[in-house]
Structure 1
């Protein structure tokens, strides 16, 4: 089951980098750039790493507090100014094993370490993808 529109999926496929926001143990926010892939079979976002994912702050934060936000945005044009992007809020599921296999299955652009994070979308907010740059499309998907 897909939770994203065809245009949102195509947009994500053309973007190499996103930002993952987590909350640390003292309720402090943490945002990091991450490589990602969309898993059409599960309707989830998959975040992998070449490095030891399970040892990272983002992995520990997501395991401890699974409510996360993920953002990809860019400028379709600067003249005229046309921002576009997608924010996905959801529940993170951390996996200590299987990253290399899922990375290969999804055709990731880099080799995944064993650890990986899967984001199950709950709310999707996009702009400039299915409509005008200043027209928000917001919906709950779970």
Structure 2
């Protein structure tokens, strides 16, 4: 059984662009747009890149802290204003190899770099997916990252 609702999984499968937040060595937050892909094999979200992932700040921050947050959201409509999205906070694992194969398996529309990130959800907050646009569905789904 997934930690995501069926509606959240369907949404994540149709929205491959998200924003990843990490924290730098100096304590400053860092957010960047990323390709995000739900992986049903282990109920995680894969963050891929067409560029050199290992050289990126997000990769270095993820490797150092093991923590990240990801938001995938959009507007279902602008009239009326209808936001929806999913926030995933959790444990992030860095992988130095295998990204190309993972990207092919998940039908990523670009050639993924060998290095990639994988987010294991610990807390999920969604809005406009299983609820109205201004109601949240929030739950803790794993033990905290220390």
Report the TM-score range of the alignment, normalised by the length of the smaller protein: over 0.9
Q: Specify the alignment match of 1:123 in structure 2.
A: 123
Aligned mates of 2:50, 2:132 — CA distance in 1: 36
Matches within 5 A, 1:101-116: 101-116=101-116
SS at match of 1:108: coil
The TM-score, its normalising length taken from structure 2, stands at 0.95
The answer to whether the aligner puts 1:47 opposite 2:47 as a matched pair is yes
User: Which consecutive residues of structure 2, in runs of 5 or more, have no partner in the other structure?
Assistant: none
What is the Cα deviation at residue 16 of structure 1? 2.5
Aligned mates of 1:131, 1:120 — CA distance in 2: 23
Deviations 1:54-112 (A, max 9, x none): 11110000000111100011111111111111100000000011111111111111111
Q: Specify the alignment match of 2:99 in structure 1.
A: 99
Aligned mates of 2:21, 2:130 — CA distance in 1: 24
The answer to whether the aligner puts 1:84 opposite 2:74 as a matched pair is no
SS at match of 1:88: strand
Instruction: Give the paired residue count.
Output: 142
Aligned mates of 2:104, 2:76 — CA distance in 1: 30
What is the Cα deviation at residue 29 of structure 1? 0.3
Moved over 3 A (4+): none
The TM-score, its normalising length taken from structure 1, stands at 0.97
Q: Specify the alignment match of 2:3 in structure 1.
A: 3
Aligned mates of 2:81, 2:139 — CA distance in 1: 25
